[in-house]
Amino acid sequence: MHLPLLHTLASLLGCSGLYATWKSPPPPEASSTYQQRADALLSKYPVLDGHWDLPIVARFLAGDNLANFTYQDHLWGQVDIPRIKKGRVGGFWSAAYVGCNSSKEGPNFDGPTDEVRDTLEQIDLTRQLAAYFPRDVGLATTPAEHRRNLADGKVSHWIGIEGAHSLGNSLATLRMYAELGVTYVTVTHYCHNVFADSCSPPEPRHGGLSDFGRRLIIEMNRLGVAADLSHTSAATQRQVIELSAAPIFYSHSGAKSVYNHVRNIEEDVLRSLRNRDAVIGIPFVADFVRGSGNSTIDDVLEHIEHIASVIGRNKVALGSDYDGSFEFARGLEDVTTYPKLLARLLERGWSEEEVAGLASENFLRVVEKTQQVGRDLRGKGRGKKLLPDMKAWEGRKDLIPKSPPS
């Protein structure tokens, strides 16, 4: 494992929630009638989760030998194949995450880093897991591929990149990631980058999107790759919502009016999505939901209900962030618990169609529409053909000048 990944795991191991002490009794469960209905529904519409950090855990456990990764047995963390099956999971986005190397990049983002190499290794790992466990795992890059995997009894591994710092300041890198099956890129992680401002640090660098960041969003539209707005600043979110031709996508974000955390979405941003197609995956991480030691399944339900009340039940999904933290909302401790959450929604009066949407269909709809936007912009459907953006980042120091020096 490379040093940046070791640092990332070390930061997870230092999570304060590892030894959380619950301050309230266990939350109630739905009656057996609603649980049976949820189980039956999930047999038709298994969960598609917007964000798991499985690759970094797999790298830690497997080292340089996938035989060490006992995916088919009980693993450290929240995810393994037996629990995936028990939780009625049909697929998830596997986050190709590497840490922000801000100290190497420097204040102008122009220092050399290992981020592209490390991201490629994370993508490769996700693809190799599908090859190593072919009976249980299949790669998915489209809703049709996902449904074929379900028909074959496989869980779909989708690939998302968590943070555009992983692009190495290059639109060409984005195109190559798309060729490898990446279907979303989170515009920032916990650091600003050349494209946009993050929610943290709070002091803005660009005031939202940079000029190069606007080009990034347009190129993502052209490729049919979703621009994931989780982790971004509110200004970045507002500007992407205004600019993007594709539906709006959040892989794992809650409502700031429910719990005031920097990772959650401002109310005015939510309201701006009322007349836009969009999907928001709700996280289960305690720190985002109600704070360490306080978060329960009831609080996750409050995030779901609030966002649904503002923008519609057809725009809410699940983005647990499993394997990305140690403390999750009580009652949602690992991937086996999804059926309990859906049963509670049925008990609250959600229709089976609405719960099926939250389980998987809302994500699939938005991905299909995003990919259709890409086909149209590339001239494979309706509309004028948009060529690849070959613009290089202006801060690069290695480019040959347009004219030789005198």
Q: Which residues are catalytic?
A: 51, 53, 162, 189, 231, 252, 321
Q: Which residues contact 72 (CB under 8 A, 6 or more apart)?
A: 80, 81, 82, 133, 136
Structure tokens at 231: 């982790």
Neighbours of 26 (CB within 10 A): 10
CB distance 248 to 241 below 8 Å: yes
Q: Burial level of 112, CB count in 10 A (0-12/13-18/19+)?
A: exposed
Distances (CA, A) of 89 to 37, 59, 110, 174, 360: 16, 22, 41, 29, 9
Structure tokens at 12: 């997870």
Distances (CA, A) of 296 to 46, 152, 321: 23, 35, 15
Question: DSSP 3-state assignment of 318?
Answer: strand
CB distance 52 to 320 below 8 Å: yes
Q: To 5 degrees, how large is the angle CA 181–CA 359–CA 274?
A: 90
Is the C-alpha dihedral spanning 84, 90, 91, 92 positive or negative?
Answer: negative
CB distance 66 to 129 below 8 Å: yes
Residue 207's region, left for phi above 0, alpha for psi from -120 to 50, else beta, is left
Instruction: Give the β-pairing of 155-162 and 316-318.
Output: unpaired
Q: Nearest-CA neighbor of 304 among 322, 293, 326, 320?
A: 320
How far apart CA 271 and CA 244 sit, in angstroms, is 17
